[in-house]
Structure 1
Amino acid sequence: MTTESNRVQMVETGNPALDTILEGGLTSGRVYLVEGDPGTGKTTLALQFLLEGAKNGQTGLYVTLSETKEELEAVAASHGWSMQEIEVYELVDSSELVDSNASQYSMFEPSEVELSKTIRGVLEHVEQSKPTRVAFDSLSEMRLLAQSPLRYRRQILALKHFFTGRNCTVLMLDDNTAQDADQQLQSIAHGVIRLEHMMGDYGGERRRLRVIKHRGQKFQGGYHDFQLLTGGLNLFPRKGQPQPIENANFPLILSGNESLDHLVGGGLSPGTSTLLLGPAGVGKSSTAMLYAISAASRGEKAVFFIFDETREVLLERAASLNMPLQKYLESGNILIHQLDPGELLPGEFACQIREAIQPSEDGRRVSVVVIDSLNGYMNAMPHEHFLIVQMHEILKTLAKQKILTFLVVAQHGMLGHMATPVDASYLADAVILFRYFEATGELRQAISVVKKRTGSHERTIREFQMRDGVIRVGSPLDEFQGILSGTPTFTGKTSKLLGKEHE
């Protein structure tokens, strides 16, 4: 299939995510370089490219210098593909490899004869079959035959000029086996796509794709994570295409708890982010769940991305607080995505969020997203400074969709000085702080709002309690001291504490 963009004919690559990165696909009739170490997915990408052409009635040719037709068919079969509509031209003749006399030349250097024969064979076959799409695998064999950089460059230029004007889009694969980085190919090719893979200190290997150049066309620069799975390359573009919601006035989002809503200034604004900060077990996730349940009860949708606990534990905790989480899961108003930090790719997470916030067929929109927690998300990132940059992009996307986002961060420690593993407070529009405190020989919790960009908020410290299946927010504790030091103490009357009127 071809599309018109700025009067330039484009061809789709067979990978919709790659077409998104290329902003439409590849320019038709040009030669492209696909480079990467062995095992990064170059052959798979080339097969997807040829199969897309076959699906649209275009002739495809796979020229192989190192692999046999049977090996290519096995690769295709592993992805569930058939190569019946793709012609494979093998430049390796097994009979010549085993015949020692066939490779002896008395008047010329063997490399000169073999390279000339190789190029001539390709040109003759292309003239006969007249393909629309060609994959040339791989250039490392031609580099070895050429022996000198000058001769190698001239042969690649000859191939490029041969394909020019024949309405043929060509992918040339290079496995980077040269000792030095070969920049000559990049200068010759119309576009360059690089595939990389690396191993982290823990977890599976990570692969990423980068479009180095695409002459005359816009594309998404930078690295894009991908997985090599059955069915091809599963790419995660760094930037998606969600359309912002324009000229829409949504009411403040309420928690359903009157005291909590009063504490945050009457509700939280759509399109903002709220950081829930405090030690483990103090009630951060339960507060986020309260807003999600309230949104679901209004017919809206809420999405959880959980790193630190399982789906079953989340449901059990909701049941203990009399929150009907299971009910809204069954109705589809609440979705839960359980993630593994050891296997999750950073780009994959951003793509999952973009897909999850798409409006459903019945018109229900997502109004609340909970990321629980940033501690687990940080463990999925190679370096901490990448987390802040990518989280900023994610929050910006959610803000354009008028979605209220909760970021849960567990601080290190329980009492005293507590360290924050990542400082995301400047990214958030509101910060709700949770603390433990001691009163009458009992460990209790406190809640306060220390920041809110969109409107006023109450500056008092209130008691926060999760007991008997109910979340309660008490009256202001005006004789509360030491909250910011991490060791708050209550010196007032015990009658102001929650639960004392029942005991």
Structure 2
Amino acid sequence: MPASNHQDPASDRASPHPSSPRPPTPTGLSGLDAILRGGLPAGRPSLLRGSAGTGKTVIALSFLCHGIAQGETGVFVTFDESPEALLDHAEGFGFPARADLAAGRLRILDMRPQPNEVQVGETIELTAILARIGYALDRLESPRLVLDAIDALESGFADSANLRAELTRVFDWIRERAVTCILTTGEQAEFSARYGLEDYIADCVIALRQDVKDRIMTRVLRIVKRRGGGHGANEYPFLLDSQGIFLIPVTGTTLQARVSSQRLPTGIPGLDAMLGGGGPYAGSTILISGQAGTGKTSISSSIARAVCDTGQLVLYISFEESMDELIRNQGSIGIDLARYSDSADSATGCAGTLVMQPVRAVEFGLEEHLMRIIRSIRVLQPALVILDPVSSLSERRDVSGAKEMLLRLLYLIKEEGVTTLATELLSDDSLGVSHLDVSSMIDVWIKLRRLENDGEMNRLITVIKARGLPISDQVKEFRITPSGLQIIDPYMGEGGIVYGTARIARLAEDEETLEQLRLDLDRAQQLRREIEEIAAASERLNRAERDAKAADLDRQIAQIESRLARITRARAAIKRERA
């Protein structure tokens, strides 16, 4: 880079600051723009600092390419990487950098310091550099500028005071040109602190770093300052992978859930009946808790199949089984998930409605899991997302951190209007108590448990709660059969409630008891009839005896009365003769 003592013509042509503040300039990263309350300060320099691998260049490229996609132009000045490497870098993240370069929408300036270039008084003078940058800005009429790895200039200055003065000049030059600029710098040797970039020069400072905990790395972003506007004050994890940068302000979400009266089928008639005659509401959060082997994944697969049959998309994230294992295992009970995958025959009519993403819970940090899930949801727009089992994410030393992450995840999914089905593994000594402690976010809670009795293991299912639904209060039997899943009402007999084969044995016992009771009832009723017949016969006999005695007395009375009458007539005749 040749030095020059001429005045900067680009600086002379710079336009003055507008009288009223300009609206923020979007970076193209929605999460970052939300944290910055709209974007970077327009027409001002913003500093992006962080160690190697934190994503500085990717964020800068995203900022520049977003503007180009919106019809603007951009200039990228590199003090570190070669232009060819930057083009490969950009296209690796999906940015059409070479096409933009060929079309004149993008200009890359190679300003890498060379050891054999001229230095004046052991100092590189920046006038020529600024003139070249200004010329490129004028030619493209570009409102966006990136100065990548500006800390590479440090090797050209022996005196830190000279470097600070020159850097101050660069920042002032950016303000005079009213170009929105991102400058990137590393954290090596406390470069920012020594030269005052952070406190005295930049209008906006974004700090990036890598946190490593339990051998898992998470990238974190923080807005150190932003002049002329508010900004999020927390630390925000973000993703950096082949799909680019993804950041979401997970520490500042508010619940704005979409309410729906639509019901999602479960594919299990008995479970639908327990939920009031239909499945859960769309957009609700469902938790299935249970011990190992109680059928959590089987119920999840049944619900996934039922939703796929309606033509809606299901995102199945498995933390323990691979896709092939899940398909094989569920096929043994009649749930054919393969027919819904992308590789299925399109003639089925449901191909492509199931997206399965197996991932090990220990592969990423909690925050990275959260962002990957949310990004997949925003890209795929599923009707249902299944997290099986979500308890795998909480099996870390940082239990409180896992709980906070799960709460944020459930909030964020609900804000997207997506139904969430999470399964939770309960330990055998948990006494059926959930360790996730997220019941405040759960709309439908289904609990499964094992009942071991007389050498047999039975599965039981209970609906603990279902907001807005008239649920069954009964504990029912849940069976996993080769032909599918069944929910059976328990047998409630004289000896209590029984399940499984004990239900059949108790039913047979009760049938024998009923038959004996029927015989006893018939005998008792026959005896009752006989007693009544004997009583009736005795009554008839008594009546006959009474009638006979009454007749005899009547005869006696008649005879006596007859004799009395004869004697009375005889006496009357004698008296008449004497007279």
What is the match of residue 16 of structure 2?
A: none
3-state DSSP of counterpart to 1:339? coil
> Offset at 1:338?
1.8
Structure 1 position 466, deviation (Å): 0.6
Query: 2:246·2:371 contact (CA, 8 Å) conserved in 1?
Result: no
Provide the secondary structure at the position in 2 that maps to 1:262: helix
**Counterpart pick for 1:441 among 435, 439, 455:** 455
- Match of 2:225? 213
Q: 1:464-485 deviations in whole A, cap 9, x for unaligned?
A: 111232212122365899xxxx
Q: Give 3-state SS (helix, strand or coil) of 2:73's partner.
A: coil
Q: Distance in 2 between matches of 1:283 and 1:370?
A: 15
**In 1, Cα distance between equivalents of 2:506 and 2:481:** 9
Q: Choose which of 358, 377, 380 in structure 2 pairs with 1:338.
A: 358
Which 10-residue stretch deviates more, 184-193 or 118-127? 118-127
Q: Distance in 2 between matches of 1:176 and 1:161?
A: 22
CA drift of 1:207 comes to 2.3
The residue aligned with 1:8 is 22
Q: Is the 8 A contact 2:149 2:183 kept in 1?
A: yes
Residues 234-383 of structure 1 aligned to structure 2 (within 5 Å): 234-238=245-249, 249-267=260-278, 268-329=280-341, 330=344, 331=350, 332-344=352-364, 346-357=366-377, 366-378=382-394, 383=398
**Which letter maps to 1:303?**
L
Provide structure 2 residue ranges, at least 5 long, that are not aligned to the other structure.
1-19, 92-96, 345-349, 509-579
Distance 1:472 1:270 in 2: 23
Name the structure 2 match of 1:86. 107
Amino acid at match of 1:199: V
Aligned pairs for 1:414-425 within 5 A: 417=431, 422-425=436-439
Residue 448 of structure 1, CA deviation: 1.6
CA distance in 1, matches of 2:52, 2:499: 70
1:3: which partner in 2? Answer: none
How has the CA–CA distance of structure 1 residues 166 and 274 changed in structure 2, closer, same or farther, with 3 Å as cutoff? same
**How big is the shift at 1:36?**
0.4
How has the CA–CA distance of structure 1 residues 142 and 118 changed in structure 2, closer, same or farther, with 3 Å as cutoff?
A: farther
Of 406, 418, 425, which aligns to 2:421? Answer: 406
Equivalent in the alignment of 2:189? 178
Instruction: Specify the alignment match of 1:109 in structure 2.
Output: none
Distance, in Å, in 2 between the alignment partners of 1:92 and 1:498 is 89
Aligned twin of 2:73: 58
Structure having the higher helix fraction is 2
* 3-state SS, counterpart of residue 164 of structure 1: helix
The 8 Å contact of residues 273 and 395 in structure 1, kept in 2 or not, is answered as yes
User: How far did 1:393 drift?
Assistant: 2.8
Tell me: CA distance 1:29–1:37, structure 2 relative to 1, closer, same or farther (3 Å).
same
Q: Cα 1:333–1:114, aligned 2, differ >3 Å: closer, same or farther?
A: same
Q: Decide whether the 8 Å contact of 2:291 with 2:448 is kept in 1.
A: yes
Identity, % of aligned positions: 21
SS at match of 1:77: helix
- 1:283 CA displacement: 0.6
Q: 1:137 aligns with which of 143, 149, 152?
A: 149
Contact 1:238 1:347 in 2 (8 A): no
Encode CA deviations 1:338-361: one digit per residue, 9 max, x unaligned.
Answer: 22323345455444544555698x
Contact 2:50 2:208 in 1 (8 A): yes
Amino acid at match of 1:369: V
Contact 1:37 1:177 in 2 (8 A): yes
- Once the two structures are TM-superposed, the CA of residue 32 in structure 1 deviates from its matched residue by 0.7
Per-residue deviation at 1:289? 2.2
Contact 1:371 1:408 in 2 (8 A): yes
Amino acid of the structure 1 residue aligned with 2:359: L
In 1: Cα distance, 2:505 partner to 2:369 partner: 40
Unaligned ranges ≥5, structure 1: 1-5, 104-112, 482-488
Deviation at 1:409, TM superposition (A): 0.7
Structure of higher CA gyration radius: 2
Q: CA RMSD in A?
A: 4.2
1:218 Cα deviation after fit: 5.5
Q: CA deviation at 1:138?
A: 2.3
Shift of residue 431, structure 1, vs aligned partner? 2.2
1:9: how far off?
Answer: 4.4
1:282 partner letter: T
Does residue 450 of structure 2 align to residue 450 of structure 1?
no
Please report how far the alpha carbon of residue 242 of structure 1 lies from its aligned counterpart in structure 2 after TM superposition. Answer: 12
Task: Pick closer, same or farther for the CA change 1:286–1:491 going to 2, 3 Å.
Answer: closer
| Counterpart residue type for residue 476 of structure 2 | R
Aligned equivalent of 1:485 = none
- Go from structure 1 to structure 2 and tell me whether the alpha carbon gap of 1:146 and 1:16 turns closer, same or farther (over 3 Å shift): farther
2:214 aligns with 201
Please say which of residues 185-194 and 86-95 is displaced more in the overlay: 86-95
The count of residues paired between Structure 1 and Structure 2 equals 461
Q: Find the counterpart in structure 2 of residue 486 from structure 1.
A: none
Name the CA distance, whole Å, in 2 between partners of 1:24 and 1:402.
Answer: 24
Per the TM alignment, residue 33 of structure 1 is displaced from its structure 2 partner at its CA by 0.6
Counterparts of 1:401 and 1:95 in 2: how far apart (Å)? 57
- Counterpart CA distance in 2 for 1:500 and 1:88 is 87
Instruction: State the SS of the aligned residue for 2:441.
Output: coil
CA distance in 1 between partners of 2:72 and 2:482 (Å): 67
* Selected match of 2:503 from 489, 496, 500: 496
Amino acid at match of 2:114: D
Q: Deviations over 1:302-336 (max 9, x none)?
A: 32111111111221232222224333334233332
Q: Secondary structure at the match of 1:94?
A: coil
Q: What is the TM-score of this pair, normalised by structure 2?
A: 0.67
Map of 2:550 onto structure 1: none
Say yes or no: does 1:30 pair with 2:44: yes
1:373, distance to aligned residue in structure 2 (A): 0.9
Give SS of 1:309's match.
coil
SS in 1 for 2:340: helix
